Amino acid sequence: VPVRIAGIPGSLREGSLNKKLINAASQIAKTISPTIEVEYVDIDSLPLINTDLVKNKKYPAEVEAFFNKLRSVDGILFASPEYNYSVAGPLKNAIDWASMERDVLKDKTAAIVSTGWDLGGARSQYHLRQIGIRPDIYFINSPEVFINENPPVFDSDGNLTDEDVRKKLKELLVSLNNFTLRLRPCRPFPWP
Ligand code: FNR
């Protein structure tokens, strides 16, 4: 059974670097053995969190679909833009929704790639790790992958052209794959 990873970009804009990074990671994953699959998971349609939208444990349809997608994977690859030294609001919003049902995030493994200016989004990574404590997400510690938005690492067609970034993304996925396989026997069986 392949390791199944949800690739979640933390930015909503169409030309998002982080969306491109998830797409690149999906392609790179195909070159890794044992097998790992990175499926792009959209957070664009999630409403802003408001518990008035939850009636008797019934969530808005987009939120339910997001829960079920996450329930079906072993782990998460976050691609996080840094906003004001932290994670961007849309990503925090998605995690806040997901944290409302215990089985959605508990015992997921996770890895982070981030983007930003001078430090490549590093500060957002440490906030993201903190956010993962309460929902019980297990982040891999290395490698740490920080990507400066300049100079560009994608061409105008959205292809990853920077070989160093490609190598780092592959190392990140291999590490996530290995850690997920180690943790998997501890997860309840059958997996959802
Ligand atoms: C940013 N950006 C940014 N970068 C950084 O390194 N530190 C920061 O504190 C911030 N703050 C910030 C706030 C706001 C409101 C915006 C819009 C942008 C830059 C941002 O992280 C960078 O452009 C990302 O690459 C954007 O990601 P997407 O949208 O291309 O995925």
For residues 30 and 100, the answer to whether their CB atoms sit within 8 Å is no
Q: Which percentage of the chain shows pLDDT scores above 70?
A: 97
Whether the pLDDT of residue 69 is over 50: the answer is: yes
- pLDDT classification of 192: cutoffs 50, 70, 90: very low
Is 65 within a domain?
Answer: yes
What DSSP string runs through 55-75?
A: BTTBPPHHHHHHHHHHHT-SE
Site to substitute for ligand 1 among 14, 21, 115, 119, most atoms within 8 A of C-beta: 115
How would residue 185 be classed by pLDDT, with cut points 50, 70 and 90? Answer: confident
Find the CATH number of the domain harbouring 27. 3.40.50.360
Residue 188 pLDDT level (bands cut at 50, 70, 90): low
Give the position, in ligand 1's atom list, of the atom nearest the Cα of 15.
Answer: 30
Q: How many domains does the chain have?
A: 1
- pTM, to two decimals: 0.96
Res 190 pLDDT > 70? no
Element (H, E) at 79: strand 75-83
Expressed in angstroms and rounded, the spacing between residue 187 Cα and the centre of ligand 1 is: 35
Confidence of residue 186 (pLDDT cuts 50, 70, 90): confident
Taking only the tens place, the pLDDT of each residue in 70-98 is 999 999 999 999 999 999 999 999 999 99
Residue 191 resides in a domain: no
State how far the Cα of 150 lies from the Cα of 106, in Å rounded to an integer: 35
For residue 5, name the pLDDT band (cuts at 50, 70, 90).
very high
- Residue 69: which domain range? 3-186
Question: Is 192 a domain residue?
Answer: no
- Asked, for residue 32, whether it belongs to a domain, the answer is yes
Is the ipTM higher than 0.90? The answer is yes
The 10s digit of each residue's pLDDT in 96-155 is 999 999 999 999 999 999 999 999 999 999 999 999 999 999 999 999 999 999 999 999
Q: Best mutation site among 12, 82, 92 for ligand 1, i.e. most ligand atoms within 8 A of its Cβ? A: 82
103: CB partners within 8 A, 6+ apart: 71, 192
What whole-number distance in Å separates Cα of residue 170 and Cα of residue 185?
24
Beta bridge partners of 79: 9, 113
